[in-house]
Amino acid sequence: MTMPPTGKPAGRTPGRRPAGLHRDRAPVRHPSGPAPGANPARAAAMLLLQAVLDRRQGLEDALDALPAREPRDRASGHRIAAAVLRRLGTLDAILEPYLKREPPSEVREALRIGVAELLLLGTPPHAAVSAAVDLVPKPFAGLVNAVLRRIAQAGESALEGIDADRIDTPAWLWTAWHGAYGAEGARAIATALRQPAPLDLSLMPGSPVPEGAILLPNGSARLPAGTRFSDLPGQEGFWAQDVAATLPARLLAVRPGERVADLCAAPGGKTAQLIVAGAQVTAVEKDARRCERLRENLARLGLTAEVVLADAAGWRPPAPLDAVLLDAPCTATGTIRRHPDVARLKRPTDLANLVPIQARLLAAGAAMLRPGGRLVYAVCSLQPEEGEGHLRTAAECGLLPDPIREEEMPWLEEAITAGGNLRTRPDYWGEQGGMDGFFAARFIKA
């Protein structure tokens, strides 16, 4: 099995291997998933981890594909898998001294789950160890039991000396963030990404703030991390949208009656904002399944837009538009708090493949505008190639910069760059629970 990158070099030097805990023998044949009779939540966590790390499937897709089980077990399995993905480097560094050879996938995942439960999730040691043992086939039960008991004995001291910022961040992202945000910035981002994200809601006009939520300066309602959208009553009154994700549509400042295209629109958070602001919106989305979700979301909120299933790079409106919002497909590295699988799945080749797609979409967006029309380009990425890197492309498409002014967002001045673009980071508003990393730039068509 190929292990995902752990960022080992800058982490802790592996300690001495404790005697007697490994067996130097070839792995036996065994079933590849959780053992029959395993605890259903832990079994779900293992299946999710195998889907992401072995088959490179997205965590949300893997969750959709899980065999039927109680919603509580699914949620708990998701929470455990997300914790493992967030702290994969740390968990592997703790396990490394105990493993002489690479164990089979399900044993590796059972060990990771066990250590996460012991050291990160506060599960009582006895329950964490026995649940992990139950996940593996009999021949591996002794190994898992012995390793986890040792780690349980060490307790939190097992985490000492581990540079979690570094070791839980894939090496290519660490290097890129150092280059873009400096050593301190890269560390602040990595620290913020280890925290699960709160649930932010954008409210329909006149809708009450849901119980237990705090109101953020931009008007979003924030509920604590771990809150499930599906559990909330009154869903016709709000939609889930990170506070940073609300900013690009806000920057477009559409006026009632303006004709606006929302390119790359599903699941529709920004479409909803534009409609609520009074624009006549055409939402363009190329994925049929996501397009359906967008329609469902708008219907739930009682909002209307023209929804077009098309590749936005080729689609053109019947007449030039007043404004375009382009929320381009990207590596999504700004959303790792919410989607910890992104850190394990995305690679530099994805970045290289996405940059030309973003440039094509930007040129298409520019071509849709009337002279004097506005365009906001946005990505939920922390990689400068996907953000600042496109300013030149924009100029080549006849788009003039329309710098963002601090008074437009006096409550988030730190996110407005010297050049008048928006750059949010997961460590901003850290004390209130942070935000996704976004880049946005605003232009006027010449």
Ligand X SMILES: C[S@@+](CC[C@H](N)C(=O)[O-])C[C@H]1O[C@@H](n2cnc3c(N)ncnc32)[C@H](O)[C@@H]1O
Q: Which is nearer to ligand X, 69 or 293 (CB)?
A: 293
Evaluate whether 387 touches 327 at the Cβ level (below 8 Å).
Answer: no
278 is in an annotated binding site: no
- Give the binding-site size for ligand X (rule: CB under 6 A): 20
Nearer to ligand X (CB atom), residue 54 or residue 350: 350
b/e per residue 381-405 (b: at least 16 CB within 10 A): bbbbbbbbebbebbeebebeeeebe
Measure CA of the first residue to CA of the last residue in the chain; give whole Å: 54
Task: Give yes or no for residue 128 binding ligand X (CB under 6 A).
Answer: no
Cβ–Cβ contacts within 10 Å for residue 234, how many?
A: 11
- Residue 264 touches ligand X, criterion: CB under 6 A: yes
User: What string marks each residue from 197 to 236 as x (binds ligand X by CB under 6 A) or -?
Assistant: ----------------------------------------
Least Cβ distance, residue 365 to ligand X (angstroms):
11
Applying CB under 6 A, does 355 fall inside the site for ligand X?
Answer: no
267 binding ligand X? (CB under 6 A):
yes
Q: Are 119 and 151 in contact (CB under 8 A)?
A: yes
Q: What is the DSSP letter of 354?
A: H
Query: Where does this chain touch ligand X (CB under 6 A) — which range of 23-31, 116-124, 280-288, 406-414?
Result: 280-288
Task: Let me know if 380 is a catalytic residue.
Answer: yes
Closest residue to ligand X, based on beta-carbon distance:
264
Confirm or reject binding of residue 139 to ligand X (CB under 6 A): no
Taking the complex as a whole, the smallest distance from the CB of residue 190 to ligand X amounts, in Å, to 22
> Residue 24: CB partners within 8 Å, gap ≥ 6?
100, 101
Closer residue to ligand X, CB minimum distance, 116 or 361 = 361
Largest Cα–Cα distance of the chain, in whole Å?
75
Q: Does 279 bind ligand X (CB under 6 A)?
A: no
For residue 218, the minimal CB distance to ligand X (Å) is 15
- Say whether the peptide bond before residue 401 is cis (omega within 30 degrees of 0): no
- Please tell me whether 436 is known to bind a ligand: no
- Residue with Cβ nearer ligand X (239 or 428): 239
Task: Map the footprint of ligand X across residues 288-327, applying CB under 6 A.
Answer: 290, 311-313, 327
Structure-token pair, residue 2? 């190929």
Residues in the chain: 446
329 binds ligand X (CB under 6 A): yes
Q: Residues 339, 367: contact at Cβ < 8 Å?
A: no
Contacts of 158 (CB under 8 A, 6+ apart): 94, 115, 119, 151
437 binds ligand X (CB under 6 A): no
Distance CA 381, CA 392 (A): 18
Please give the positions annotated as active site: 380
Q: Which residues bind ligand X (CB under 6 A)?
A: 245, 264-270, 284-287, 290, 311-313, 327, 329, 361, 380
Mark the binding-site residues, compressed into ranges.
264-270, 285, 311, 327
